[in-house]
């Protein structure tokens, strides 16, 4: 079975500039992803283009936990992810690969097989979020809690420093998408199944000093470009993958190259299309940190006392945040007004007024049902808070 034609397939390369108005239409404030990185006491080592990291590093997506299985420094994977205001092009990319972590799910049966956190690397500009790589590149490049007191042990930056460089740092915004790729039987040249990935790209990335990047290339033994990213066996279940294909006369995919190392193809997506606005999401904050003892926890995941909650009267036309509910292409407020007007016209015998459409009726029903559900959940949450406060 091949991936459906109406979804993202392979790695998505963006074509065309990302305009601010388009970015505004795909902006989401609530982040479905949280990260937890184990503190380090030793400097991680390089194994080829891979960094030896702990599998105790995890991320959680909508309640499901994923374990870090691979860290690669590779050629630029996320092409075209240049936000307004960014004028330089990345020279490489750091990709953190997380595999589904559940005793009840294998990567083949899990709805989501893996998560990739993709961080472009730049070699020009003011260094930022660079501490982790700098220490790997040059172990003597030490950082201390207090720069004037070097008597204590130097800090060993962990992966969290890539996403949070300083207190209140919110610069690591991201673009994300879901995508599908095929696993293959390289003997029969037929697909064995499809896997899904959640890919998150952090366009601001990591900026290294030019000499530090050259030292990194030397350590990786790179003369020209970095190696391409390959999907780890833990995500693809050890299967081969579809690297390239063509279409036959019937419009069906025909494999042309199958990879035993986890390389897959890329697909292009124009930033001026509806598909871009429907398939790409922009987050204005970094992922939440669940790292034990992290100084970011209290800032992004506060626990409120009972007296800090506010009672809000319910309004069937608005949600708890005061925003108008939009069940279709009209707000619920408009739908309700049209319903009331139609009822008035019916009472006065005016048959020329249009009645509610099926879409409007469904919108009203969905809105009222949603309010009822939210009311129940809110009451349950209040009861729990009262008992545990």
Q: How far apart, in whole angstroms, are the C-alpha atoms of residue 345 and residue 66?
A: 57
Residues 342, 81: Cα–Cα separation, whole Å: 49
Six-digit token pair at 224?
């020209």
- pTM of the complete model: 0.74
Residuewise pLDDT in 10s, the chain (389 residues): 899 989 999 999 999 999 999 999 999 988 899 999 999 999 999 999 999 998 899 999 999 999 999 999 999 999 999 999 999 999 999 999 999 864 444 555 568 999 999 999 999 889 999 999 999 999 987 776 655 556 677 889 999 999 998 888 999 999 999 999 999 998 888 999 999 999 999 999 999 999 999 999 999 988 777 899 999 999 999 999 999 999 999 888 999 999 999 999 999 999 999 999 999 999 999 999 886 555 444 334 444 445 445 565 656 555 555 555 555 455 566 777 778 888 888 777 655 545 555 555 565 555 555 555 545 555 555 555 555 55
**Element housing 133 (H / E):** helix 131-137
Per-residue pLDDT, 369: 57
CA–CA gap between residue 68 and residue 162 (Å, rounded):
15
Q: What pLDDT, on a 0 to 100 scale, did the predictor assign at position 302?
A: 40
Reduced to 3 states (helix: H, G, I; strand: E, B; else coil), residue 307 is: helix
Which three-class secondary structure state does DSSP give residue 186?
Answer: coil
Q: Tens digits of per-residue pLDDT, 336-365?
A: 777 888 888 877 765 554 555 555 556 555
- In the chain, how long is the greatest CA-to-CA distance? 90
Distance from C-alpha of 349 to C-alpha of 39, rounded to nearest angstrom: 74
The token duo for 236 is 């693809």
**First-last CA distance in the chain:** 52
pLDDT digits (tens, 9 = 90+) for 99-142: 986 444 455 556 899 999 999 999 988 999 999 999 999 998 77
Range 11-300: architecture per CATH: Roll (3.10)
d(CA 90, CA 122): 5
* Cβ atoms of 276 and 14 closer than 8 Å: yes
């Amino acid at each position: 079975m091949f991936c459906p034609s109406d979804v993202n397939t392979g790695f998505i390369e963006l074509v065309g500039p990302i305009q601010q108005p388009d970015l505004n239409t795909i902006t989401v404030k609530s982040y479905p992803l949280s990260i937890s990185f184990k503190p380090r006491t030793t400097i991680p080592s390089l194994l080829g283009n891979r960094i030896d990291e702990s599998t105790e590093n995890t991320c959680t997506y909508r309640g499901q936990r994923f374990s870090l299985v691979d860290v690669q420094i590779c050629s630029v994977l996320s092409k075209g992810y240049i936000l307004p205001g960014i004028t330089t092009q990345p020279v490489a990319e750091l990709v953190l690969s997380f595999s589904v972590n559940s005793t009840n799910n294998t990567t083949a049966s899990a709805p989501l097989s893996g998560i990739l956190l993709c961080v472009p690397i730049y070699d020009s500009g003011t260094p930022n979020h660079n501490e982790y790589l700098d220490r790997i590149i040059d172990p003597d490049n030490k950082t201390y809690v207090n720069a004037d007191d070097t008597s204590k042990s130097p800090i060993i930056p962990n992966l969290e420093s890539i996403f949070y460089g300083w207190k209140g740092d919110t610069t690591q915004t991201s673009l994300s998408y879901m995508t599908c790729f095929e696993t293959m039987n390289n003997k029969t040249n037929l697909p064995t199944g499809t896997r899904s990935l959640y890919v998150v790209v952090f366009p601001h990335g990591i900026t290294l000093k030019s000499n530090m990047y050259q030292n990194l290339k030397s350590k990786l033994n790179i003369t020209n470009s970095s190696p391409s990213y390959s999907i780890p066996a833990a995500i693809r279940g050890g299967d081969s993958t579809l690297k390239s294909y063509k279409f036959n006369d019937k419009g069906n995919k025909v494999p042309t190259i199958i990879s035993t190392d986890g390389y897959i193809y890329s697909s292009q997506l124009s930033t001026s299309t509806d598909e871009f606005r429907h398939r790409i999401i922009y987050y204005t904050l970094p992922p939440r940190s669940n790292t034990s003892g992290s100084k970011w926890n209290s800032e992004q995941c506060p626990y409120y006392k009972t007296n800090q909650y506010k009672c809000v009267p319910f309004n069937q036309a608005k949600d708890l945040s005061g925003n108008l509910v939009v069940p279709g292409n009209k707000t619920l407020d408009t739908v309700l007004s049209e319903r009331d007007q139609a009822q008035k016209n019916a009472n006065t015998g005016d048959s020329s007024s249009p009645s509610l459409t099926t879409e409007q009726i469904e919108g009203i029903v969905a809105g009222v049902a949603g309010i009822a559900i939210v009311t129940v959940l809110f009451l349950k949450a209040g009861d729990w808070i009262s008992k545990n406060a």
